[in-house]
Chain A
Amino acid sequence: MAQTFQTTVGSHHYRFKSLAELMAKATPARSGDRLAGVIADSAEERVVAQMVLAELPLTTFLNDALIPYEHDEITRLIIDDHDAEAFAPLRHLTVGDFRNWLLSDQATSEVLTAVRPGITPEMAAAVSKLMRNQDLILVGRKCRVTTAFRNTIGLPGRLSTRLQPNHPTDDVTGIAASILDGLLYGSGDAVIGINPATDNVAQSVKLMRLMDDVIQKYQIPTQSCVLTHVTNTLEAIEQGAPVDLVFQSIGGTEATNRSFGFDLNTLAEAEAAAQSLNRGTVGRNVMYFETGQGSSLSADAHHGLDQQTCEARAYAVARKFSPLLVNTVVGFIGPEYLFDGKEITRAGLEDHFCGKLLGVPMGCDVCYTNHAEADQNDMDNLLTLLGVAGCNFVMGIPGSDDIMLNYQTTSFHDALYARRVLGLKAAPEFERWLDEMQIFNDVKTHKLNDQVPAAFANSLRHLPREPRHDV
């Protein structure tokens, strides 16, 4: 099967040794591929690789596995679950044709949904490498992926938010303060999700109870999640904890996931356990996954692939377990993978496009760290672009500052900005709740209430007088 890929431009003959090398060299430049030593040697070589890639039949990806079938359970998942019937309308296309087809008027939202099981992550990654940012936005917007648990996420014209009330010592009053702040800014319809400061079962159960209490008391049509290791959540379920969603960070190779301490069987077990609790009211999507370009390289588990192709393969893992939410944490991993605002922006749009094309309910943690060459302006740009692209959800955190994870993501204010300028709304069930609770004076025009709504004003009277110093 060792096909070679070559062409001549002017007097220069270009030869790419493998499909993996061709894919890597066709990828828009980023620091992680440079770190892995798979990046194109010149700007010209990159475009030449894109031209060669454009000529490849899509069927190539079914016959030439980038990571051998025998060595990787994600390759096996991709090949075994491939739906030849759904693929039939695309079967005759090259990668370049595929871009044209995706942009064409033939590819309506309904048609894109129908062909989804016929598209592999490698096909999605390949075509994305030929696409400009506007192509990624235009096609991403046509792909609709809707999921549900206690509300419905991903409907057209909606932009949901994960309320992320992290606290460096998991202090309950501190967390409750951030939850209140978020709710009163209309945040939290995707999930109220806490990254625990310490990753253990007892701590996770404590935080699950805290959020469950709040959701029940105020009858909030949303779900909670503690972002602890999948095996911790399984243990919490056994202990009878109120688990809505099961979290796990996932990658696109078996070795990446083993380095995270799980495999596909673990996820299947977790999905079944969470569904057995029957806690959803309008749907049964119980998984919450996070991904991000660079995780496979970081775990030394990338098999010589470029980081964007590895990332797209992670979506094959995600879609197997019908998640409520998948979040690409695009700028979190640091400048060794995505160096600056330009690379972060491109990656965010690629991930959203590939995820949606494959049928994954894609959201994005529009974010950066203090050691990256990025700032709030870069975040404003990407947030706006993703809002236009129809991204399912973004993060919401007080003042953009995660005081536990030490990075910056989108704030409650930012989400309202995006909703206002783009005419987007919260999930319908949650929007009704915002209205009933009088959090907004006018929820349609995103005008907040200048007063604290009655139910919350009452709670504020229960504040302890002095800050508590736990431990």
Chain B
Amino acid sequence: MTSNPTPIVVENPWERLRAFTDARIGLGRAGISLPTGKLLEFQLAHAQAQDAVHAPLDVEALAQQLQKAFALEHEPLRLHSQVEGRAMYLQRPDVGRRLNDDSRERLQNAETSPSRADLAVVIVDGLSALAVQQNSQPFLKALYQQFEQDNAEWQLAPLAIVEQGRVAIGDEIGALLNADAVLVMIGERPGLSSPDSLGLYMTWAPEPGLKDDRRNCISNVRPAGLNMVEAARRLFLLLKEARELKISGVKLKDRSEDSVLEGDAAASGATKNFLVAD
């Protein structure tokens, strides 16, 4: 008997590159198709991500956690959009952008509010409650450190937490809190490898009805993505520039990395990697 020279599943010898990225590289192949094991791994990840979309935010726990961690005088404001139920949330983003009457009243009567603020921080569940639950405290810690280290005075509005909200709901909240700028921290749509990603959206002069070109976005904020300290640093630079120029969005270019992200490689102007190393 002769041995078959070609195995049924061909492994990719570059599989070890997976040490450098979470991307699903080096999967190998049966013919040109996915091997069974890799196929089922994918199916499991997709099933988990679908489940994550429907998991609710534990507002009670998050509010208490943040109050304790930052020794807040008052518990964060608990707000809700006009959305009723997750199915409606997924199909009616317009409703998710509006506060319900109860929340609006609460903001208008918030005795805890100062007459004005430099920034309102709004935490929104979005499409991943997990992202918000897990990353809010560490990100805010890093952000508050930026404020403390800055020479200028920063007056913060009371912290707000919103259920069943979309990004633009922050505009109404920022306006009601008389804030010059609003920062929305929102759970991004869960990816297969990243169910816990936080998005940051900063808007100068928030008011209902603003469009996306007025916002600056920093994405993929999570322990295995853009880390909290770096995200806070970039956000703070954007915020300072917005305050100086009194604008945000596409007119305000993110220059936070002009001094460079990639450390050694970019410092020399090079982009060397193993593919182009000589």
Q: Is A370 an interface residue (CB 8 A)?
A: yes
- Chain B: how many interface residues by the 8 Å CB criterion? 80
Q: Which residues on the A side are within 8 Å of B90 (C-beta)?
A: 334-336, 371
Q: Which residues on the B side are within 8 Å of A165 (C-beta)?
A: 23
Q: Could you say which of B29, B213, B220 contacts A258, with CB atoms under 8 Å apart?
A: B213
Q: Is A80 an interface residue (CB 8 A)?
A: no
Interface hits, A371-430 → B, CB 8 Å: 371, 375-376, 397-408, 411, 413, 416-417, 420
- Chain A: how many interface residues by the 8 Å CB criterion? 86
Q: Is A463 an interface residue (CB 8 A)?
A: yes
Q: How far is the CA of A405 from the CA of B220 in the complex (A)?
A: 9
CB nearest to B96 among chain A residues? A336
The answer to whether B274 touches A200 (Cβ under 8 A) is no
In the complex, which of the residues A172, A210, A375, A448 has the most CB atoms of chain B within 10 Å of its own CB atom? A172
Interface hit among A120-128, A176-184, A283-291, A309-317: A176-184
CB nearest to A229 among chain B residues? B250
The answer to whether B263 touches A371 (Cβ under 8 A) is no
The answer to whether B127 touches A371 (Cβ under 8 A) is yes
Interface hit among A8-16, A92-100, A201-209: A201-209
The answer to whether B14 touches A452 (Cβ under 8 A) is yes
Q: Which residues on the A side are within 8 Å of B149 (C-beta)?
A: none
Q: Is A55 an interface residue (CB 8 A)?
A: no
The answer to whether B24 touches A400 (Cβ under 8 A) is yes
The answer to whether A370 touches B193 (Cβ under 8 A) is no
Q: Could you say which of A176, A300, A411 contacts B274, with CB atoms under 8 Å apart?
A: A176
Known contacts A179-B275, A399-B38, A401-B193, A261 near B250 by CB under 8 Å: yes
The answer to whether B274 touches A462 (Cβ under 8 A) is yes
Bitwise, A178-220 to B at CB < 8 A (1) or not (0) is 1111001000000000000111111100110110011001000
The DSSP consensus for interface residues of chain B is loop
Q: Is A299 an interface residue (CB 8 A)?
A: yes
Known contacts A213-B276, A260-B213, A450-B10, A399 near B49 by CB under 8 Å: no
Q: Could you say which of A181, A202, A462 contacts B257, with CB atoms under 8 Å apart?
A: A202
CB nearest to A460 among chain B residues? B14
The answer to whether A336 touches B92 (Cβ under 8 A) is yes
Q: Could you say which of A376, A399, A404 contacts B220, with CB atoms under 8 Å apart?
A: A404
Q: Is B261 an interface residue (CB 8 A)?
A: yes
Q: How far is the CA of A209 from the CA of B10 in the complex (A)?
A: 33
Q: Could you say which of B23, B52, B272 contacts A401, with CB atoms under 8 Å apart?
A: B23
The answer to whether B189 touches A406 (Cβ under 8 A) is yes
Q: How far is the CA of A223 from the CA of B270 in the complex (A)?
A: 20
Q: Please give the distance in Å from B165's CB to the nearest CB on chain A.
A: 14
Known contacts A261-B213, A370-B52, A467-B20, A168 near B194 by CB under 8 Å: yes
Name 14 interchain pairs, CB-CB below 8 A, sorted by A.
A168-B22, A168-B226, A171-B20, A172-B265, A180-B25, A198-B256, A213-B271, A259-B211, A299-B211, A371-B50, A371-B190, A459-B276, A467-B20, A471-B261
7 tightest Cβ-Cβ pairs between the two chains A and B: A399-B24, A406-B191, A261-B250, A174-B21, A462-B277, A181-B25, A176-B273
Give me the interface of B with A, judged by CB distance under 8 Å: 6, 10, 12-14, 16-27, 29, 32-34, 38, 42-43, 45-46, 49-50, 52-53, 90-94, 127, 188-194, 197, 211-213, 217-220, 224-227, 230, 234, 249-251, 253-258, 260-263, 265-266, 270-277
Give 6 A-B pairs besides A197-B219, A336-B93, A463-B17 with Cβ atoms closer than 8 angstroms. Answer: A181-B12, A376-B42, A401-B42, A406-B197, A420-B32, A460-B14
